[in-house]
Every structure is written in C-alpha cells, then in structure tokens.
Amino acid sequence: MAKIKLLYLFVVMIFIFPLFIGCGGGATPSGGTSSPTPTTLASPTPNPSVTPSPSPTNIMATVTPAPPFEPTATCSPTPTAVPTPTPTPSGPRTIYVPGNYATIQAAINTANDGDTIIVSAGTYIENLMISKPIVLRSADPTHPELTVINAGANGKDGIRIENADVTVRGFTITNVVGNTTSYGKAIFIFGGAATIDGNTIELNKTESAAIYFQDINNNDDSPLIINNIIRNNEYYTAGINGGSGIYLSGGSPQIKNNTITGNKSSYGGGIRVNNSNAMIEGNTISGNYAYEDGGGIDVHGLSVVIKNNIITGNHAGGEGGGINLFQSSARVFGNTITHNIADNTSIKGGGILVGYQALILDQYGNPWPASDQSGLNGSYQNNTFSDNQPNDVEFY
C-alpha cells in the first residue's frame, strides 16, 4: 500500500505540476490570478508490478486567436426610381388661348366642367360648339371689340350652346351668314341656363336671329342675356320666324340691360317672343325694323313682362311699331315708348298694338282700359308715350 501511494504522488508531480507552471500559475504582473484550464485525467489502475512510464513531454497547444470581429456593412440594393404621377387638378382650372391651345374649340374640347377659358385679343375664325358648363371669356371683357369670333360666313352658328349652363363674356361675334338650308345664328342657345354677358353681336345675316334661344323638353330653361350690344343684324329672307336681334322660344328667359339697335327682320325687328314667359327689362330697343309686325318687340303666346325699357324709333311695315301683342298676355309698365311708326294705318298701333286675343296689364296684373289712345304726350298706365305714329295705343 505504501508503494501505491508513493506511485500516485509521483504521477501527480510529473503530470499536473508542470502543467500548473506552464499555464502561468502564480501572481500575474497586474496582481490578478489566472486560473489554469483543468485537464481531466484517467485514474490509473493500481498495479504494483507496472513500471512507471517515462515522463511525457509537456506539449502546450498553441491556439491562434481569431481576428477581432469587424461587422461587414451590408449594402442595400439601389432603389428603383418610381415616377411621380402627375396629380389630377382638383377644382376648376384656367385655360388660356392661345397660351395653352391655339384655337378656342381645342380649349373647349379639353376643358372640364367648371373650367374657365380666357381668350387673348385677336380674331378667331371659328364656329364653336359648347356642351359643358364652363366660362368662356375674353382677356378684357370690358372691350369686346378686341376679341372677335368671326363665323366665316359659312352658314354655321358662331357659338352653339347645347343644354349647358355656359357663360360667354366679352366677345364680338360677327360674319354669320345663313341660308335657307343652314340658318346660322351668332349665338344659338339650345336649352340650358346660359349667361350671355357683355358681348357685341353685330353685322350678321341670319335665317333666324343673332341670339336664338330654344327651350327643350319643356324644361322651363331660363338663360340670361344681359349687358350686350346687339346691332345691325339682318334677317336673311323675309319669312315668318323673324327676330333678327333676339328670338325666344319657350322657357323663362331674361333679357336685361341690352342695347338692341339697327336690326331688321320679318317679325320682331328687335326681339321676337314665341310662347315664352320672358322678362324684358331695362333694355334700349331702338331703330329696329320689321317687314311685318312688331318693329321693336313682337309677342306671340304665353305671358311676358315688359318693364323699364326705352323703346324708341322702331318701325313696322305692318302694325305695332313699338310693341305688337298677339294671342298673349303682357304686363307693360315703366317704359318710355316714343317715335315709333306702324305703316298699317287701318290697324295702327304706332306705340303698342293690342291685337287678336291679347291682354295688356299694368304692374299689378290689372287690365288696361280697352280704349285707343292717340296724341299721348306723357304718362299713361305708368308708361311714357310721345310722338308715335299713327297713334300711341290701339286695341284691335
């Protein structure tokens, strides 16, 4: 037993103590203690007859340390450029002619509902068609003579508006020449509530009228024709549809503050109203001529209001030099009716003819006394009359 203990001590001294010295046991320069890496040894089988093996060579495994970890930057892929979509304009736009488009019609075709088209000064030989609610105006609406729409004398309308709430402002519209197959109008309002404001409509020769309004589908459309100069327009041939200044058919149009002068037609040289509930207010209607009836205004059917107008110097080849009423009801008040002439001296009505199945009313809807009036030189039924030939008021 003593030999076995002595052998065990010998093995410990030979194998473990050198390892302790080789691992740098003892105090380190910094004063810390470095713990040796323990090595697991198999316990020897005691055998008294075994001769101890020679001391193994102390081989220290040299471990090459890995280089310090340096994170590698990951390169993100280059993003693909996505084109920025052109935003859709929100709300009304302003389109310029010729800045954005060379012609007015091209701008109209591109416009959206509610857009405004502004046209620079110049002459545009075009026949325009509008069927969307837009504003079409000149760059200087106070000077319509600077921006001219010349219809080209081709039988077509200068401006045709189809059932749309369009505003047309600040143009001169001219050179419409119609014929028996293509009537031609300076402005044709085919339904809708258009506003025709501040234009000069002149020197057109049409088969219908300079401004022609036609209500459609009995919608009671109500266009506004305001602040225009409508002058020196002529009916192409003498016929029954007349109204070379303004022709109104159906609806409830408003004719306000216009100057309507020097126009010639078969019926209604200045204005003809046909089955329309029209309001005719604040206009100057002068120097117009009708080959037949209604030199200034000719009214056929339904009910109209004629108030606060100056109706002067108009001439009818038949009757009703100033106003002719036929199968209609009219409230007539606040007008100045002077120097109008009716050539038909048997039926007369130089100022006003109240004709077949017609009724004339005051501002309150009361009928006028059915008595002819001649030589009036002042107020009658809240109108001012003077110098109408052959008389002022005739009931026929």
Over residues 267-301, the pLDDT tens digits come to 999 999 999 999 999 999 999 999 999 999 999 98
Q: Is residue 358 part of a domain?
A: yes
Residue 11 lies in a domain: no
- 3-state secondary structure at position 360: strand
Checking if the pLDDT of 33 tops 90, the result is: no
What is residue 38's predicted lDDT score, i.e. its pLDDT? 38
Instruction: State residue 285's pLDDT score.
Output: 98
Q: Residue 21's pLDDT band (boundaries 50, 70, 90)?
A: very low
Q: Is residue 71 part of a domain?
A: no
Q: Which domain holds residue 314?
A: 113-395
pLDDT tens digits, residue range 141-167? 999 999 999 999 999 999 999 999 999
The answer to whether position 2 is within a domain reads no
The residue among 66, 203, 82, 100 whose CA lies nearest residue 145 is 203
* pLDDT at site 357: 95
Structural domain includes residue 35: no
The pLDDT tens digits of the residues spanning 307-341 come to: 999 999 999 999 999 999 999 999 999 999 999 99
pLDDT for 268 equals 94
pLDDT category, 183, cuts 50, 70, 90? confident
Measured from the Cβ of residue 101, the count of other Cβ atoms closer than 10 Å reads 18
Distance CA 32, CA 339 (A): 132
Tell me the pLDDT of the chain averaged across its residues.
84
Q: 36 pLDDT band (50/70/90 cuts)? A: very low
Average pLDDT over residues 248-272: 96
Average pLDDT over residues 243-256: 94
Q: Torsion over CA of 8, 12, 14 and 20, rounded to 10 degrees?
A: 180
pLDDT on residue 46: 41
Give the predicted TM-score (pTM) of the model.
0.78
Arithmetic mean of pLDDT, 209-217 = 94
In this structure, the number of other CB atoms found within 10 A of the CB of residue 352 comes to 37
Q: Residue 365 falls within a domain, yes or no? A: yes
327 in a structural domain? yes
Which residues contact residue 342 at a Cβ distance below 8 angstroms, ignoring those fewer than 6 apart? 295, 316, 318, 319, 320, 321, 348, 349, 350, 353, 389, 390
Is pLDDT above 50 for 62?
no
Q: Where does the pLDDT of residue 3 fall: very low under 50, low under 70, confident under 90, or very high at 90 and above?
A: very low
44 neighbors 11 (Cβ within 8 angstroms): yes
Structurally, how many domains does the chain consist of?
A: 1
Q: Is residue 385 assigned to a domain?
A: yes
